[in-house]
Amino acid sequence: MFANCIICRSLLCLFALLMAASACSGATLGDAAPSAVSNTSASGHGEWAMEGYSLARDRATADDIEPPLRVRQEFAVGGDTQHGSPVGVARGLLFVEGAGKLHVLALESGDEQWVFNLAGTFLSPAVAGNRVFVRAESGEEGYIFALEADSGLKLWQFKFPYVGSTYGDFGGHVTSPVVAEGLVLVGASRSLYALDAETGEQRWMFDTHDPVASSATVAGSNVYLTDFTRLYAIDLETGEESWSFGYGTMSLFFAPVIIGDAVIVTSFDTVYALDRRSGDVVWARSVAGGEDLVPSAAAGDHVYVKTSQRLYALDRQNGDLVWSYQAGDFVSLPTVAGGQIYVVTRAGGRGQLRALRLSDGQEMWQIEEARLANAAPVAAGARVYVRTVDCSVLVFAS
């Protein structure tokens, strides 16, 4: 077990960065025959089908969205959306979290197609085929639901035996789902579950040493997941451990990011690049002057990490610092779209959407909008989607 001082420091890290990382009563809407589920929830061109965009959680899209941008559309949903998960875009639909609900709207018309009642926040929808998988949690109960994406019909639900942890209820909560090779991968308490995407039946379960601290990332034949002090590589087919990294003094609270053959994780102010097949350390770099870091994105020659106020670009080959960008009070997780990076920032009590140049981090464009929430932007179909604090989603385009 790790020392109390590590828990305290990590708690501070989490609460400072939680809004950047952009329980349960679900209404039974009726039975339906299973529909086809694709092998992956990785987004295609013009979609953002899951948190982090792809199985690699790299937040790097194929859309090249060049600034300047302006508001082209606004979607209104009910309830407080200030602290919800980033939106999803797939199948011509917008999946957006409201107050205790998942709202699904048509992108073209803006009309609401259906709504599903879910307690809790950070629902983190993941769309695969004609299904949307969404987490929900309240008190000591946690679930994952499979819904028909076009209608909202509930196909199955899975209730986790345990959620949360004994560390002040910190860690171990139901994680953002990811779908790969017909499996829905989601963590709860001290376990990672692999559920059959068609039926919801448990295919395998992997137990971690400490409460689960991150959502899963997938590359090749492995699933990657962290608890408080370890990164695990788990065989996607069997659920057996391939390797693990870290223990004791590590602080691994956020989902790893994959780029090529490297797994990117952070512990306190240090970034590690590990060989994703063996777990060997390729390089390690300390940055941020002692501030806690979050693995954030990866694209081209760079990997990106952030603190609550600063975004760093590191050379993917050796971890050397390429550039850094500092916001006044807050900087969100980034979205890479072509030659630019979009972030939501907060400065002077107001929110901004900014575009930074990929090569050197120089600001290319920004628009100030006091209504912007701290949730990370989403890029899909040549548009950038940003949540507001007053129950809306703003859509920016060139």
Kindly list the domain boundaries of the chain, sorted by start residue.
4-397
pLDDT of residue 169: 76
In this predicted model, which residue has the larger pLDDT, 390 or 302? 302
pLDDT of residue 44: 67
In this predicted model, which residue has the larger pLDDT, 184 or 27? 184
**DSSP-derived secondary structure letter, 7:** H
Average pLDDT over residues 57-67: 94
Average pLDDT over residues 379-395: 93
Average pLDDT over residues 40-57: 86
pLDDT of residue 98: 87
Average pLDDT over residues 287-293: 88
pLDDT of residue 26: 32
Cα–Cα distance between 33 and 209 in angstroms, integer?
Answer: 38
Read off the pLDDT band of 83 (50, 70, 90): confident
pLDDT of residue 38: 53
Distances (CA, A) of 168 to 8, 11, 17, 122, 137: 11, 10, 18, 19, 16
Cα angle 121, 126, 129 (rounded to 5 degrees) comes to: 150
Read off the pLDDT band of 318 (50, 70, 90): very high
Read off the pLDDT band of 121 (50, 70, 90): confident
- Give yes or no for residue 187 having a pLDDT over 90: yes
Question: Which residues, in sequence order, are bridge partners of residue 386?
Answer: 394
Contact residues for 203 (Cβ-Cβ < 8 A; gap 6+) = 183, 194, 195, 196, 239
pLDDT, tens digit, for every residue of 239-281?
999 999 999 889 999 999 999 999 999 999 999 999 999 999 9
Cβ contact 68:365 at 8 Å? yes
pLDDT of residue 168: 82
**Least trusted range by pLDDT, from 81-85, 247-251, 366-370:** 81-85
pLDDT, tens digit, for every residue of 219-236?
999 999 999 999 999 999
Read off the pLDDT band of 334 (50, 70, 90): very high
Cβ contact 37:128 at 8 Å? yes
- Give yes or no for residue 116 having a pLDDT over 50: yes
Average pLDDT over residues 96-117: 94
- Give yes or no for residue 25 having a pLDDT over 90: no
**Residue that is written with structure tokens 């929110």 in the block:** 351
- Give yes or no for residue 391 having a pLDDT over 90: no
Read off the pLDDT band of 61 (50, 70, 90): very high
**Least trusted range by pLDDT, from 118-122, 295-299, 318-322:** 118-122
- Give yes or no for residue 22 having a pLDDT over 60: no
Cβ contact 58:300 at 8 Å? no
Q: pTM of the prediction?
A: 0.90
In this predicted model, which residue has the larger pLDDT, 82 or 29? 82
Read off the pLDDT band of 79 (50, 70, 90): low
Is 4-397 assigned to CATH 2.130.10.10? yes
Please tell me whether the peptide bond between 68 and the residue prior to it is cis, using omega within 30 degrees of 0: yes
Of the chain, the percentage scoring pLDDT greater than 70 comes to 88
Of the chain, the percentage scoring pLDDT greater than 90 comes to 77
**Token digits of residue 176:** 């953002």
**DSSP-derived secondary structure letter, 289:** G
